[in-house]
Structure 1
Amino acid sequence: MVSTSGRHVVAATAAVLDIAGTMSPPAAFANGLDSYARTHLVDTVVRPGAAVREVVADVVADVRRAVGRSDADVRDVAQVLERWSDEDRKVAPLRTLQGLICQQGFAAGELTGTVFPDVPPALARWRAAGVPLYVYSSCPVRVQRLWFAHCVEADLASAFTAHFDTRNTGAKTQAAAYVRIAEALDSAAEKLVFLSDTCAELDAARTAGWSTIGVRRRGEVHIELGDHPSINSLDGLDLAADRSG
């Protein structure tokens, strides 16, 4: 990594980016999607439409197993899911249901994605430099894709080669997750770079051998990024393809 004139220059075989706080305003992404899913949670569990009935039935069965109540009424199940949502629990049945509800919201035009203004040109610049881009978020992969496909700024779905979430990779604060991603990308860890606004995630990626860049958006002075190199705009990062073999 080289820093010149306040800019960071990183050679990498691929870059992996967080969404909330890094590419999108947290209130719009995490809070917005969770709020929408929370509003429609009970109705989806109690009165699922034909198109989602099978998936909802699997969610209900998973919750019943999790709480040890095989005969729990669907309204009791909905209450458990509401509590998990309010506690921001990252459990599979809840994430599956939230993803399903958000998918319906995008399809109905009730949800749209948004990114910071510097994101579309940065993604285009990095891709033009030959660096493949990936997303890693706690949000389900299908919702990630819908978010970028429905961005009001531009359709960014094609900007990313693939997506990872915590269900298929593991917790973002655990180094093992970044080891798995490196294996999936068939790349040496030291040739990968991870961008996030969360110090614990950056620490985990660095422990796994990755390069890291912290993103501290203007106005977010309270964000603690430790000793990771940091930028307050993606304009401050130049990525180059690492072709060293």
Structure 2
Amino acid sequence: MVVLSLPAEVAAILLDIEGTTTPISYVQDTLFPYIKDNVKEYLRSHWGEEECQQDVSLLRKQAEEDSSLDGIVPIPSETGTGEGEVEQIIQAVVDNVYWQMSLDRKTTALKQLQGHMWRAAYTSGRMKGEVFEDVVPAIRKWREAGLKVYIYSSGSVEAQKLLFGYSTEGDILELLDGHFDTKLGPKVESESYRRIARSIGCSTNNVLFLTDVTREAHAAEEANMHVAVVLRPGNAGLTDDEKSYYSLITSFSELFLPSST
């Protein structure tokens, strides 16, 4: 087993989600397919609610901004209350969502609707957030040692809280000290990690970032954070140079505190 000793100056651990705390397969095979399979039903069921209408308005505005892009699906405005007209608009929203997801777009409008759909699925018990079995025991040990633990993911803060609040391990939000998403900045830009450190109230050198993506690891390292790359089943492979350059772990249990080495 790999043993990676935590640098003594580290006071906080920053965690990626997909491929780090949570299997990539959960995101690819559960979260996103749920949206595609249920978006029409969700819109029909919640159409009369203000939140749903806000989601549709935001998607419509995004579609207007995207009007010059190939394949864009415009979303017409509702001019009446006819059932046929509503159904046409719903179909346009569905087609627009499919189009955005096919391009792996991460617009605020799309993420907002997805977040509301996932919330409904989690709270109704139709879905549970998946975390690797080594995650919760390790976080408990880190916190017992006085470390803070934060999340930084491209998924919205709301989606993060749903995943950990309704997880296969129960509600584990109390183990997390804070959440960051890409509203703060892209994960492949070093300035994002400096902003996180400032928000936490420490130096970047006091933070260890765990991720499965070497571009993210590189950006965090440029900001003077400590980094380790997490190797999980289903994650993208690394080059020989990346394997030799980065500290690698296959489980959070391989990260040891200085006092335990």
TM-score past 0.5 threshold? yes
Identical pairs, percent: 27
What's 2:46 paired with?
A: 48
TM (normalized to structure 2)? Answer: 0.81
For 2:155 and 2:179, the matched residues in 1 are separated by 10
Aligned to 2:175, which of 156, 159, 179?
A: 159
**Equivalence map 1:119-130=2 (5 Å):** 119-130=135-146
For 2:234 and 2:32, the matched residues in 1 are separated by 23
For 2:28 and 2:207, the matched residues in 1 are separated by 25
- 2:242 counterpart of 1:229: no
- Aligned residue pairs total 237
What's 1:138 paired with?
A: 154
What's 1:115 paired with?
A: 131
What's 1:66 paired with?
A: 65
For 1:218 and 1:35, the matched residues in 2 are separated by 20
Q: Is the 8 A contact 1:131 1:239 kept in 2?
A: no
What's 2:83 paired with?
A: none
Question: Which range moves more in the overlay, 62-71 or 207-216?
Answer: 62-71
Question: Which range moves more in the overlay, 112-121 or 59-68?
Answer: 59-68
For 1:176 and 1:82, the matched residues in 2 are separated by 32
Q: Is the 8 A contact 2:205 2:225 kept in 1?
A: yes
What's 1:16 paired with?
A: 14
TM superposition shift of 1:48:
3.1
TM (normalized to structure 1)? Answer: 0.86
Question: Which range moves more in the overlay, 25-34 or 120-129?
Answer: 25-34
**1:1-25: CA deviations, max 9, x gaps?**
xxx9733222312111011111111
TM superposition shift of 1:182:
1.4
The one-letter amino acid of 1:23's match is T
Q: Is the 8 A contact 1:64 1:71 kept in 2?
A: no
Question: Which range moves more in the overlay, 82-91 or 25-34?
Answer: 25-34
**Matched position secondary structure for 2:170:** coil
**Matched position secondary structure for 1:169:** coil
TM superposition shift of 1:178:
1.1
What's 1:94 paired with?
A: 110
Residues 200 and 143 of structure 1: is their aligned pair in 2 closer, same or farther, counting only changes over 3 Å?
same
Greater Rg over alpha carbons, structure: 2
**Matched position secondary structure for 2:6:** strand
What's 2:207 paired with?
A: 192
For 1:7 and 1:183, the matched residues in 2 are separated by 26
What's 2:71 paired with?
A: none
The one-letter amino acid of 2:227's match is T
**Matched position secondary structure for 2:99:** helix
TM superposition shift of 1:46:
5.7
For 1:154 and 1:97, the matched residues in 2 are separated by 24
* Unmatched tracts of structure 1, length 5 or more: none
**1:162-199: CA deviations, max 9, x gaps?**
11111x21211121211221121121111111000111
**1:199-225: CA deviations, max 9, x gaps?**
111011111111101111257582458
Residues 96 and 26 of structure 1: is their aligned pair in 2 closer, same or farther, counting only changes over 3 Å?
same
TM superposition shift of 1:51:
5.8
* Unmatched tracts of structure 2, length 5 or more: 68-73, 78-87
For 2:14 and 2:109, the matched residues in 1 are separated by 26
**Matched position secondary structure for 2:237:** coil
